[in-house]
Amino acid sequence: MAKKLLEMHSITKEFAGVKALDNVNITVNEGEIHAVVGENGAGKSTLMNVLSGVHPYGSYSGDIYFDGQLCRFHSIKDSERLGIVIIHQELALVPYLSIGENMFLGNERRRRRGVVDWNETYQKAEEYLKVVGLEENPRTLVKDISVGKQQLVEIAKALAKDVRLLILDEPTSSLNEGDSLKVLNLLLTLKRERGITSILISHKLNEVAYCADRITILRDGSTVETLDKHKDGVTEERIIRGMVGREMTERYPHRPHTIRSEVALEVQDWTVYHELYTERKVVDNVSFKLHKGEVAGIYGLMGSGRTELALSIFGRAYGSRISGTLIKDGQVLELNSVPEAINAGLTYVTEDRKDNGLILGNSIMHNITLPRMDFVAPKGRIDRDLERQTANHYREALDIKAPSVEQLVNNLSGGNQQKVLLAKWIYSKPDILILDEPTRGVDVGAKYEIYQIINDLAKQGKAILLISSELPEILGMCDRIYVMDSGRIIAEFPQSEATQEGIMNCIMQQSKGEIGA
């Protein structure tokens, strides 16, 4: 029987009368990778905040035992002293400081009286970087390295604090598959070679199944069960059943045949250069077609040029030296600004709803009507009653869970925010919707609803371009699939011929070809 490193007993935490955690129990053994999974709002982050002292002792009830000792953390410092380090989803690195400076931030190597010993700092930094498999110079500024490497720097930073229990909150949410795999493998290596225990919080069940020894499932603030990989047969379906409390027989709704013969949008020889580095090609001679009533997919990883392609089509919202032809309903379109694109019936639903999509401090109503104010302002004067009625219509149609449309968007859950984003663009009465990662950061139940909305739109004859880096989503939802890599479309599959292996092979071949050339 493995030694218990951490025990949390009947943890209950309330926010003003609402129980975020209700009698949660979790036990983590020394030297294991323990995954905590649950839908958005199940209480994962709250639990970790209780553990790390963000919610101080006394603000919750229940006991925490670490290494057999009862702990009462009053701040993060207290938990870090025992070797509990949490790495948050939003990376906490300072972009304009060097890797080394970041790693020892708050934990500086000092000579005496607060004078920093830079030699030791950088020497130690280099050591830890080696452990996590980074060959960067520790004097490099953090802003100059990729997000994937930044995540590794975070882990190195934790190691520098003599970590015993490493907590990672969604460590791969902004990484591509290659970098994600690196992070997960690093966790496995650290476990094997240094005996470091980790708690992994993740939405990506394939990753959980890949590296976790045991999995605790939370639902509505309570522990549902703890699965042991070595005893229970742990599959993604099994985890999902625990998370949603029911079997998801279908993660994707049935996609009816709604394709019409008319071509809604045709893009020919589309080439885009980087906005700042105007020498760099980001989209390279791309051509594709969208039919009415069709859901076409673009599969591509981050950095493949998919977002740049979408934005440049959407009224040249990105890029420089754009060339190529846009043909909508048989007519050549010349779009030079976003308003022109919207008026022409194009929409782009961003992958980054917080930064590029929604105005978080505004109400649901104001967010929805923003792209086409003219619909609710017939004579230039906003008809606020009409606006409210319109917004209410979309709130009901898309089942946005909020007490009213006056509700500010930043008080909504991720899934509901995503629905507001969709509502906003459906409201603009488009013929063509470009959906960029429409289910990112959305829980399983809400994902299904969003898929249904997409199917409905196709049924109405809208043409949909679905951009995603989740292969199962692309395979489950699209009638036709384009594969994009390094700014080019490298393959096209009809749904009937597309398989996960086929698409991955296609990308592998491509990168091999590049190395060979």
Site for another protein in 389-448 (CB under 8 A): 389, 399, 401-408, 410-413, 415-416, 424, 443-446, 448
| Site for another protein, residues 230 to 289, rule: CB under 8 A | 244-250
Task: Kindly state the smallest distance separating residue 401's Cβ from another protein, in Å.
Answer: 7
Check if the beta carbon of residue 312 is closer than 8 Å to that of residue 319.
Answer: yes
Residue 423: C-alpha distances to residues 302, 389, 417, 458 (Å): 25, 14, 10, 15
Distance of CA 401 to the CA centre of its chain: 21
Smallest CA-to-CA distance from 286 within 515, 469, 482 is with 482
- Determine the Cα–Cα distance for residues 111 and 124; give it in Å rounded to an integer: 14
CB 345 within 8 Å of CB 429: yes
Q: 154 or 443, CB closer to another protein?
A: 443
Contact mark string toward another protein, 1..30, x via CB under 8 A = --------------xxxx-x----------
Q: 29, 285, 320, 356: which one contacts another protein (CB under 8 A)? A: 356
Report the alpha-carbon distance of residue 83 to residue 69 in Å, rounded: 13
Site stretch for another protein (CB under 8 A), options 83-91, 186-194, 377-385, 460-468: 377-385
Site string for another protein, 35-74 (x = CB under 8 A): ---xxxxxx--x----------------------------
Task: Identify the residue among 81, 384, 429, 512 touching another protein (CB under 8 A).
Answer: 384
Binding to another protein in span 143-162, by CB under 8 A:
none
* Contact assessment for residue 52 and residue 217, using Cβ atoms and an 8 Å cutoff: no
Q: Which is nearer to another protein, 300 or 415 (CB)?
A: 415
Binding mask 469-508 for another protein (x = CB under 8 A): ----------------------------------------
Bin 83: left if φ > 0, else alpha if -120 < ψ < 50, else beta.
Answer: left
> To which residue do tokens 């109405």 refer?
460
CA distances from 335 to 272, 298, 327, 339 (A): 14, 22, 11, 9
3-state secondary structure 32-60: CEEEEECCCCCCHHHHHHHHHCCCCCCCE
How many binding residues for another protein (CB under 8 A)? 77
Question: Is position 380 an interface residue for another protein (rule: CB under 8 A)?
Answer: yes
Chain positions 311 to 350 lying near another protein, rule: CB under 8 A, are 314, 317, 337-339, 341-342, 348, 350
Stretch that binds another protein, among 3-11, 113-121, 126-134, 369-377 (CB under 8 A): 369-377
Q: How far is the CB of 407 from another protein (least distance, A)?
A: 6
